[in-house]
Amino acid sequence: MKRFHTLAPFAICLVFASLAEARAEAPTPAELLEGSKRVVFLGDSITAAGRYVAIVEAWLVATKGDAAPRVLDLGLPSETVSGLSEEGHAGGKFPRPDLAERLERVLNLTKPDLVIACYGINCGIYEPFDKERFERYQHGMSQLKTAVEKKGAKLIVVTPPSYDDQRAPKAFSYNEVLDRYSAWLVDQRKNGWCVIDLHGPMTAELRKRRTADSQFTFQPDGVHPNDEGHWFVAQQVIRGFGDERAAAATSPAALMESLHASAEFLPLVQKRVDVLRNAYVNGAGHKRPGLTAKLTVPEADKEAEVLTAQIRKQIAGTK
């Protein structure tokens, strides 16, 4: 008679235990932010514009005071993580830059504790869903996570913003393509990824606003957010960090007022973001034409110190 191995059930239990351990719970954004001294934002032109970045940094400075991390915006217009570019991009002048080409230099230059990355709207190159393009995006995001963690830093991924199909109509819904990209990112939470969902809330909010105003938009050209759009992006990041009260403010001005900041506070933070972005993006190097910086990184750091002194004077009662 054939004997069954008595250790088989125990071995099976070990396998399932190992699988469960591999699916570790994702850390919260607030947990990753805690103790971070240098935070780097990566992304395409939406991040490069710096408006939502400045709002998030203003919130950090106003709530944490001198304990707030240093924020650097390293967004690069047109960039993807997929390494793809559509035919005739920028009138045929240059292909879309690929984050992988500059990522190592960016990390070496900025030395972040925490990276916040928002990619995807360019990665589908504005075409119908395609399995190969999707796999290129997945690979690029996974490589980004690996590279960041190899440097001893942590990564927070922000799902791509919505695409306004009404403002930039195609024969198909590009926003539905981004639905699939975003759903994959959110699903990575079960694999330990820290993900802030922007796409879902932004798509839902756009639909809600259009019930009252059929012409409402966050993105007049379908892609690039206006001021209200950047505020919405900032709200989701701040909400992701656990400050629901701040995220519920009706506008950046209302948020600054609730934080006892003067009217000059946010513009000064924005100026500091811009000064540092221009220098650091060019200091790290990239292949996108048309971007220049008046200041070197050391010169920008020095100007940022002057701006920091002015920023501190605009806040009352910081911690």
The pLDDT of residue 114 = 98
Q: How high is the pLDDT of residue 315?
A: 81
> CA 15, CA 22: separation in Å to the nearest integer?
11
Q: Is residue 11 part of a domain?
A: no
Q: How far apart are CA 58 and CA 265, in angstroms?
A: 8
CATH of the domain at 36: 3.40.50.1110
CA gap 110, 94 in Å, rounded: 26
Q: What value, to the nearest 5°, has the Cα angle with vertex 254 and ends 216 and 200?
A: 45
Confidence class for position 24, pLDDT limits 50, 70, 90: low
Averaged over 145-151, what is the pLDDT?
98
- pLDDT, one tens digit per residue, over 159-187 is 999 999 999 999 999 999 999 999 999 99
Given its phi and psi angles, is residue 95 left (phi above 0), alpha (psi -120 to 50 degrees) or beta? beta
14 assigned to some structural domain: no
| Residue 5 lies inside a defined structural domain of this protein | no
In a domain, 7, yes or no: no
With a cut of 80, say whether residue 222 has pLDDT above it. Answer: yes
Question: Which position has the higher pLDDT, 4 or 65?
Answer: 65
**Strand spans (E) along the chain:** 38-43, 70-73, 114-118, 154-158, 194-196
Distance CA 160, CA 141 (A): 12
Whole-model pTM: value is: 0.91
pLDDT for 316: 61
| pLDDT value of residue 10 | 41
pLDDT tens sequence across 91-110:
999 999 999 999 999 999 99
Q: Cβ contacts of residue 139 below 8 Å, gap of 6+?
A: 82
Quote helix, strand, coil % in the chain, to nearest 5.
Answer: 55, 10, 40
- Domain count for the chain, please give it: 1
Residue owning tokens 């109509």: 169
**Within a domain: residue 319?**
no
| pLDDT(271) > 80 | yes
Examine residue 230 and state whether it is found in any structural domain, yes or no.
yes
Q: What is the pLDDT of residue 318?
A: 45
Q: How far apart are CA 232 and CA 28, in angstroms?
A: 20
Q: Does the residue 21 lie in any domain? A: no
pLDDT for 207 equals 98
Q: How confident is the model at residue 65 (pLDDT cuts 50, 70, 90)?
A: very high
Residue 20 neighbours by CB distance under 10 Å: 9
Average pLDDT, the chain: 92
Per-residue pLDDT at 319 exceeds 80: no
User: Looking at the predicted structure, is the pLDDT value of residue 19 above 50?
Assistant: no
For residue 14 the two structure tokens come to 């070990």
Place of tokens 């240093």: 70
Average pLDDT of the segment spanning 6-20:
41
Q: Which residue has the higher pLDDT, 20 or 92?
A: 92
Is 211 in contact with 154 (CB distance < 8 Å)?
A: no
**12 is a domain residue:** no
Range of the domain at 42: 26-313
User: Which residues, 6+ apart, have CB-to-CB distance to 209 below 8 Å?
Assistant: 216
Q: Token digits for 250?
A: 């009706």
Q: What is the mean pLDDT of residues 198-217?
A: 98
What percentage of the chain exceeds 90 in pLDDT?
87
Per-residue pLDDT reduced to its tens digit, 243-264: 999 999 999 999 999 999 999 9
